[in-house]
Structure 1
Amino acid sequence: MKKLKERWGIESNIQLTIIFIVFAITGSTSAWLSRYACDWLGLTKTNLGLVYTPVRLILIFPIYQILLVLIGLLFGQFKFFWTFEKKMLRSMGLGFLFKA
């Protein structure tokens, strides 16, 4: 845990625990919401067949990104998650989204 705290620039175990809680809530919530997003878009296993699961996974990605920052904000960790989000998207080649 010490290496992780150093890598993320975290000083306390409480902050690390809060960050882990935010990751857990965000992952579960984005998976749950993706089901409703698919329903809203009219995407079902019946009309998509084997493509349904990959489509749902693709839908989870933007939902997760938005929720990560919002839930991080609710838990008082906006700065950490905003920085984390920018690093992650830059590593995926989407850094242009943050250029002014």
Structure 2
Amino acid sequence: MSWIERLKVKWNLESNWQFVIIMLVFACTGTTVVLIKKPLINLLFEDGIRPLWFQIAYWVLILPFYNIILLFYGFLFRQFDFFWKYEQKMLRRFGIKVNADKE
């Protein structure tokens, strides 16, 4: 069984097309985060040098920001339900209680 087939089974996907769309959502989300970082640095720091506090704050704040963008792209590509369940599962792993039915 290929890695694609294993992911389709794990994620309970219906088709190869749904798999492609989900990978596209992950790609768009990652690209968006990368494209936003450099202008943000240029806006906050004229010389482009990032102090340690910014690096720490960036890594702390990027996770919720990434998740919001992931849900946004999931909505745009009509895969919001999949990504909402994905987010809930991740939040449970962090020990955050989610008001939803467990799978």
Is TM more than 0.5 here? yes
Code of the residue aligned with 1:22 in structure 2: it is V
Choose from 23, 27, 31 the match for 1:28.
31
TM (norm. structure 2) is 0.76
1:26–1:64 Cα contact (<8 Å) kept? yes
Residue correspondence of structure 1 range 72-91 to structure 2 within 5 A:
72-91=74-93
Structure 2: where are the runs of 5+ without partners? none
- Percentage of identical aligned residues: 39
Structure 1: where are the runs of 5+ without partners? none
**CA offsets per residue over residues 35-81 of structure 1, 9 Å max, x none?**
556677x5x465x6223222212221111111111110100101100
- 1:57 corresponds in structure 2 to 59
Asked if 1:16 is matched to 2:19, the reply is yes
Q: Paired residues, what number? A: 95
Q: Name the one with the larger helix percent.
A: 1
With over 3 angstroms needed to count, the CA separation of the structure-2 counterparts of 1:63 and 1:34, relative to structure 1, is: farther
1:38–1:56 Cα contact (<8 Å) kept? no
